[in-house]
Amino acid sequence: MKAIVCNNFGPIRDIQYKEVDEPSLSEDGVLIKVSSVGVNFPDGLLVQGKYQLKPETPFIPGMEVAGEVISLGSKVSDFVVGDRIAALSQLNGYAEKIVVKTSSTFKIPKNMSYDDACALLCAYGTSHYALKQRGQLKKGETLVVLGASGSTGIAAIQIGKIMGAKVIAVASNSEKQKIAKKNGADLSIGYENLKEKLKEISNGKGIDVIFDPVGGDTFDTVARTMARKGRLLVIGFASGTIPKLAVNLALVKEFSVVGVFWGAFTRAETDEYKRNMVELFDWYQGGLLKPLVEERYPLSEAAKVLEKILARGAKGKIILKP
């Protein structure tokens, strides 16, 4: 089968599209013929050796897939050949076939495409966990979403609205701001004079919850706009810079800085994680949310896609097609 292989940590351009052996089926796993592969920001960090996880090389990157079950392990009883499923895996997603444990798989509703199912996993899973469990977002609160036109940003906008918040989207240009507005944001603004804008929008009260996948100088700015008892959610550092917090701000303003590591949540609180995913699928079926799949590329063009995402050029979700 064909797959994307990282032989050594280094530049993204060095990953290879090549023939590899098919994966071996475990007794508690299912073999999936992959139809859609989700591309995520951490994938690009991973192949460069810049992510928390550093697997032994060579390896196949990719953490979310959707496709059809074509073979079952000897101990699998809750799936059948032909089931349409979406699945999470720390690695091995950028391939024509993958073996995953049943504990990491979800049957796809009949009205959901493989692309949408794939897009729903990491981006919506992260944003849902961030706003529900970590941010404890309440109806009527003000939510600010940074990086609002990316896949996690769009997910945060849609979920924030479902949860009853007033959602302010922040994006770097007018095109991205329009995308955020189209996906449900009450207001969409740029990063210029952000502190002053947020102060005006909140009538001086400050912001209740800030969703920050950007980091860098923007984190420092928004930390000064928090409301009393606000929650500043640390999602990631797309800017490339990990900020340092002046903790006196948290003291004086009495706000919380809350880390969000969805991958750890999926492993440590499996039952709660599964309930979250069921809720997301229910919202999808009810027409309350809809992933924005921006583009689709052949699996062979994974390097080009990863470079685009790390350059913050994506608007919504990008899917690879084996």
Q: Which position has the token pair 């929650």?
A: 231
Q: State which amino acid sits at residue 83.
A: D
Supply the range of the domain harboring residue 307: 2-108+292-321
What DSSP string describes 56-81? PSSB----EEEEEEEEE-TT--S--T
Q: What is the pLDDT of residues 38-66, one digit of tens each?
A: 999 889 999 999 888 899 999 999 999 99
Question: Measuring CA to CA, which residue among 207, 262, 216, 209 is closest to residue 235?
Answer: 262
The pLDDT of residue 240: 82
Full-prediction pTM beyond 0.85? yes
The pLDDT of residue 271: 92
| Same domain membership, residue 249 and residue 296 | no
| Same domain membership, residue 298 and residue 240 | no
Q: How high is the mean pLDDT of the chain?
A: 94
CATH number reported for the structural domain that contains residue 210 in this entry: 3.40.50.720
Confirm if 3 and 20 have CB atoms less than 8 A apart: yes
The pLDDT of residue 52: 81
Percent of the chain at pLDDT exceeding 70: 100
The stretch 223-249 carries a mean pLDDT of 93
CATH number reported for the structural domain that contains residue 45 in this entry: 3.90.180.10
| Same domain membership, residue 78 and residue 184 | no
The pLDDT of residue 289: 94
| Same domain membership, residue 102 and residue 127 | no
Confidence of residue 312 (pLDDT cuts 50, 70, 90): confident
Q: What is the pLDDT of residues 89-142, one digit of tens each?
A: 989 999 999 999 998 899 998 889 999 999 999 999 999 999 999 999 999 999
